Structure 1
Amino acid sequence: MMSHIVDFTNVSTVGLESSPVASSLAGLRANEARYFKNKYDFVFTVEPAQETQTIVDWVHHILQKERNIVIASPPLETALVEVDDIRWPYVFYQNGLAINVLYTLNDAKKRAVGFKLSEGMDIPFELNTFKFARQKSKLAGIIRGSYFVIKGQY
């Protein structure tokens, strides 16, 4: 499989088929694609995680160093958005979790890790100390989200 553009008009589970919540994870992925298209006119493209290990490793390194978090679920796909001096990598996991890192290149005070849970999945054990807010999405149903501010330099 190669990279593909995420279509938020016709939601597809391509690349996410092994997830027990594939359809809601696909909706979550499409929701993110729609956000970046509407806000930044950016085309959201995903690639298999095994082909973009540097993105997965960077996100996992930040999680480990900042909060000693190790994600148990296998990563399925990644995306890398670079707009307005922000590097915004995404990792989509088999259990339905999506993690993004908002990493501003010019302002160390505006950096954070975001977690989004697909509808139908439980909160992963490694994230059970976080409080999750709910948001409705036409594409993804109920999305639960949380985040933490990054303190270090990566």
Structure 2
Amino acid sequence: MPQTVDFDTVSTAGLESSPVAGALAGLRANEARYFKNKYDHVFTVEPAAEAQATVGWVHRILDEERGIVIASRPLEATEFQVENIRWAYVFYENGLSINVLYTLDDGGKRAVGFKLSDGMDVPEELSSFKFARQKSKLAGTIRGSYFVIKKEY
């Protein structure tokens, strides 16, 4: 059953096994606040075991586009459509968050974004990416990077 992410009261529920659970919960809450403010969308997540199709879709894009295989265990995931954009998020045990922005119109924006929770190291499989920093009241310092999707999924 999907769980609504509350960005007023940040909870580590579902993320307890992460060594950076508090920072990852803040990162997840930061995403929830963004979607509520920008699209009036309520951000929900479910355990990765119940969101196999979403996790599989994200992993397929990573593998086919860049040959990336994430070593960490996925904890939670979500997939939804806002306006004409399909979004998918996977939150990993090591503190990594991966999102896919996939515009359904031909020629629209399509990209994979990586966000690292405060306090985590850059995973080896993402060491070739440069990460920019941003401050968040909910998540501390977030480091982010992305790449553009070239194929159809």
Per the TM superposition, whether the score is higher than 0.5 is yes
Task: Using the TM superposition, give the Cα deviation of residue 135 of structure 1 relative to its aligned residue in structure 2, in angstroms.
Answer: 0.2
Corresponding residue for residue 83 of structure 2: 84
Deviations 1:58-116 (A, max 9, x none): 00000000000000000000011310110000000000000000000003341000000
Runs in 1 of length 4+ with deviation above 6 angstroms? none
Deviations 1:9-64 (A, max 9, x none): 00000000000000000000000000000000000000000001000000000000
Q: With structure 2 as the length reference, what TM-score do the two structures score?
A: 0.98
Aligned with 1:78: secondary structure?
A: strand
Aligned with 2:38: secondary structure?
A: helix
Report the number of matched residues.
Answer: 153
Corresponding residue for residue 73 of structure 2: 74
Deviations 1:104-153 (A, max 9, x none): 00033410000000000000000000000000000000000000000000
Separation of aligned partners in 1, 2:108 and 2:87 = 15
Equivalent residue letter for 2:15? L
Separation of aligned partners in 2, 1:100 and 1:147 = 9
Separation of aligned partners in 2, 1:70 and 1:142 = 25
Corresponding residue for residue 126 of structure 1: 125
**2:46 is aligned with 1:47:** yes
Separation of aligned partners in 2, 1:46 and 1:108 = 29
Aligned with 1:16: secondary structure?
A: coil
Separation of aligned partners in 2, 1:64 and 1:99 = 13
Aligned with 2:94: secondary structure?
A: coil
- Alpha carbons of 1:109 and 1:86: their partners in 2 closer, same or farther (altered >3 Å)? closer
Separation of aligned partners in 1, 2:24 and 2:5 = 12
Identity percentage of aligned residues: 74
Aligned with 2:112: secondary structure?
A: strand
**Mapping 1:4-83, distance limit 5 Å:** 4-83=3-82
- State the superposition RMSD in angstroms: 0.7
Separation of aligned partners in 1, 2:79 and 2:24 = 17
Q: Which runs of 5+ in 1 are unaligned?
A: none
